[in-house]
Amino acid sequence: MSLNMRATVVALVFLAVLLGLWEAMNQPPEASEALTEFELLMGGADDQARVPPPSQVLALAWQELSNPFYDAGPNDKGIGIQLAYSLYRVLTGYFAAALIAIPLGFVIGMSPLMYRALNPFIQVLRPISPLAWMPLALFIIKDSEQSAIFVIFICSIWPMLINTAFGVANVRSDWIRVAQTHELSPWRTAWSVILPAAAPTILTGMRISIGIAWLVIVAAEMLVGGTGIGYYVWNEWNNLDLNSVIFSILMIGVVGMLLDMALSAVSRLVAYEE
């Protein structure tokens, strides 16, 4: 049996044990009479709130995923619509950040002067929490949708910028000298030599950025409301629907994993062996 197959079997065993324990530890007590609506929401007839067992979450998941794009009003949209809004905001801010971070990273990586000049700004702005920008963005932009996209932009730019500059600055000097020997122009050298050599490091920065962006959009949508998976989580919590809260948390994890897998696949395409 191959290593991947054995790893899959072990993962499935862990999953089965986890779900079994979760199911066993969160069963509501037996009731002598019909449960009230509040007792049903809280998970049983006693006063203690309980986490819904996985059987209930899976039943809800089947119901939600069977019709993910329904639209029954402002506060009642399918999980597919909510995820689509979040992905639109994430990808818009993410690619806008890439358009600025990657060229600027090239300039910083190739020029010690620009590195020394811009590094203080980077070191001051990089540690700021993305959500700290939200009040200022709302005041200046005056639009919650665009403000959320700006927050994604500001949190995505730093990993891509730093990794691009690092990758460009650490391209092997003998490769640069070979390009100079062949009298390649700076533009041709950057495109034909530096970019392919730095591509794995650049993709690593992009992979880090997409993970951070997906984390931040959930919190941003909780603040601005309206639509999106973050708003969905917060709205279902306000409705005391823990089944939906857990289901949405799992969907956040699955989508985040798929985004990471997509960029991981792209990273393998540009990987090379010296």
**pLDDT value, residue 175:** 73
As given in the structure block, the two tokens for residue 222 are 């909780």
**pLDDT value, residue 195:** 82
Task: Give the CA count within 13 Å in the CB-facing half-sphere of 161.
Answer: 22
Residues of the chain by 3-state class (helix, strand, coil), percent to 5: 80, 0, 20
Instruction: Give SS3 for 71.
Output: strand
**pLDDT tens track for 30-82:** 545 565 666 555 555 454 556 788 888 888 889 888 888 888 877 778 899 99
Amino acid at 134: M
As given in the structure block, the two tokens for residue 126 are 């990089």
Cα separation, 231 vs 217, in Å, equals: 10
Cα separation, 218 vs 216, in Å, equals: 5
As given in the structure block, the two tokens for residue 136 are 């200022």
**pLDDT tens track for 119-151:** 999 999 999 988 899 999 989 998 888 999 999
As given in the structure block, the two tokens for residue 35 are 């449960």
Cα separation, 210 vs 249, in Å, equals: 18
Nearest to 252 by CA among 84, 69, 83, 89: 83
pTM given for the model: 0.84
As given in the structure block, the two tokens for residue 168 are 């460009």
**pLDDT value, residue 42:** 54
Beta strands in 169-263 (DSSP E): none
Cα separation, 125 vs 138, in Å, equals: 19
Cα separation, 267 vs 205, in Å, equals: 10
- Residue 211: which pLDDT band, with cuts at 50, 70 and 90? very high
Q: Compute CA distances 28 → 47, 56, 190, 247, whole Å.
A: 11, 12, 64, 19
As given in the structure block, the two tokens for residue 170 are 């650490």
Nearest to 96 by CA among 85, 84, 88: 88
Give 241's DSSP letter. -
- Residue 273: which pLDDT band, with cuts at 50, 70 and 90? low
**pLDDT value, residue 86:** 94
- Residue 156: which pLDDT band, with cuts at 50, 70 and 90? very high
- Which distant-in-sequence residues (6+ apart) come within 8 Å of 64 by Cβ? 78, 79, 244, 247
**pLDDT value, residue 6:** 82
Amino acid at 27: Q
**pLDDT value, residue 33:** 57
Cα separation, 266 vs 246, in Å, equals: 31
